[in-house]
Amino acid sequence: MTTDVYPTPWQPPPDIRTPAYVADMARLRRNLEILAAVKARTGCKILLATKAFAMPAIFPLMRDVLDGTTASGLFEAQLGHDAFGREIHVYSPAYTPAEMQALSRIAGHFYFNSASQLEQFYPLLPAGAHVGIRVNPEMSQVKNNPIYDPCHPGSRFGVKAADLPSLPWERIDVLHVHALCENGHAESVNLIHGVSDKFAPYLSQVSAVNFGGGHFITHPDYDIQPLIDAINRFQERHGVQVILEPGGAVVLNAGYLVARVLDIPEKAGASQIAVLDTSATCHMPDVLEVPYTPSIQGSLAGSPGEAIQATPQYPCLYTLGGKTCLTGDIIGSYAFPTPLQPGDLLVFEDMMQYSFVKNTTFNGVPLPDLAVLHEDGRYEVVKQFSYLDFYNRLG
C-alpha cells in the first residue's frame, strides 16, 4: 500500500481543463541538481533518453545541465536535434537504410546492436562520427518485470562476450551497455564493476563507455556517492569517459496527470466504481504493462490486482476506471478520506516518465493537455490536442 509522495501536494486550479499532464519545474530542477552533482564530481556525460520524456517546452532547463539526448529512433533523434541541441546519440536494435541516411545528417554518436548492422551501415556514417557497439553483459539485475530486463535469456540486445573478438575494433570507439531498469545504486555499481572486469581487454580500445539508462539516480533511496566512486574508479582504471543516459530518473516525481471524476455508477463488491476522464490504456500504459498502481494525492493506493482495505482515516473505497470500452482499463483500487463526487479532481503523481510519449487515441479518447507548473506557481498550457490530431494519425 502506498501513500502520498509529498507532504505539501499541489492543488490544481478548479477550472483546469482535464485530463492534463503537468510538469513541475521546481521538482524537475531538484532532479537536475542531483544529476549536475554527479557530473561535477566525475566528469561523466549525462544524456536525456527521449524515449522516456520528450516535452520541448522543458528542454531549455534541461539543456543547462545535460549534455544532449539519446534516441531510440529517427524521429526522437530529429526532435533532439531540432529542439534540444548539443550531442545527439542514437541506438536501435536494427536500422533501415533510409533511417541511417537521415540519421547521418543529424546525429554524431551511432550505437549498433550487431556486427552485421555495423558492417552494413558504417560506410554511411559522417566523417568524425563516434561509433559504438552494444554489448550484453549477461547480468540480470532488473527486478520489476522480465520484459524490462535487457539481459534476460534470449534477449535480442547486444553482442555477448564470446563474440567480441571478431568485431572490427578499429572502427569502434564506444561500448554501449544498457542493462538496468529503475535500479538502485547497488545495481549501478555492480554493473560498472562487472563491465570493468569482464570486458577489460576491450576497454583499452575505446574512448568511452555508455552505461545506458535505468539508474534511478534521483530516487530518494538512491545513494549517489557509491555511483560517483564507481565511475571515478572505472575512468581512472581504463582511461575512458563514462556516459549515462537516464530517462525516468530525469523527471522522476516531477509532474502529474490531473483527471476528473465523470461518474460513479455502482458498487463493485465493497468498493465503489468511479469512471474518470482519463484512461490507463491510453494515458498510463505502464499501469497495465508493469503493472503498478500510481499514487494519487490525498489517497491510499492498493497493490495491482488487489482490493485495498479501508482505514479510519481513509474509509471510502473506489475502483478507478478509464473511459474506454476496454474491460481491463482499470487504474487501480484506492481509499479516500471522503466520498468522491462527479467533478472532483484527482492528481496522479509521477506522471512525466513513459506517459505521454506512449499515449494512444484508442476509442477516439482525446489526448491530455501538456502543461507546465512554473516555480512561481503559474500554470501554463503549452499544447492542446484536437480532433485534427486524431484524424491526421489515421490518414
Q: Which ranges constitute the DSSP H helices of 220-363?
A: 224-238, 280-283, 285-289
> The pTM is what?
0.94
Cα 302-306-307 angle, rounded to 5 deg: 70
Q: What is the per-residue pLDDT for 305?
A: 81
Q: What is the per-residue pLDDT for 9?
A: 82
Question: Which pLDDT tens digit goes with each residue over 37-70?
Answer: 999 999 999 999 999 999 999 999 999 999 999 9
Query: Could you give the domains of the chain?
Result: 43-250 (3.20.20.10), 254-393 (2.40.37.10)
Query: What are all long-range contacts of 45-48, with beta carbons under 8 Å and residues at least 24 apart?
Result: 45/87, 45/208, 45/241, 45/242, 45/243, 45/244, 46/243, 46/244, 46/245, 46/246, 47/87, 47/89, 47/243, 47/244, 47/245, 48/80, 48/84, 48/245, 48/246, 48/247, 48/250
Q: What is the per-residue pLDDT for 145?
A: 77
Give the whole-angstrom CA distance, residue 214 versus residue 48: 12
Question: Which pLDDT tens digit goes with each residue over 113-149?
Answer: 999 999 999 999 999 999 999 999 999 999 877 889 9
Q: What is the per-residue pLDDT for 324?
A: 98
The torsion region of residue 114 among left (phi > 0), alpha (psi -120 to 50) and beta comes to beta
Question: Which pLDDT tens digit goes with each residue over 292-318?
Answer: 999 999 999 998 888 889 999 999 999
CB 351 within 8 A of CB 256: yes
Q: Which residues of the chain have pLDDT under 70?
A: 1-8, 267-270
Cα 324-355-47 angle, rounded to 5 deg: 165
Q: State whether residue 393 is helix, strand or coil.
A: helix
Q: What is the per-residue pLDDT for 270?
A: 66
The candidate with the shortest Cα–Cα distance to 119, out of 175, 171, 164, is: 171
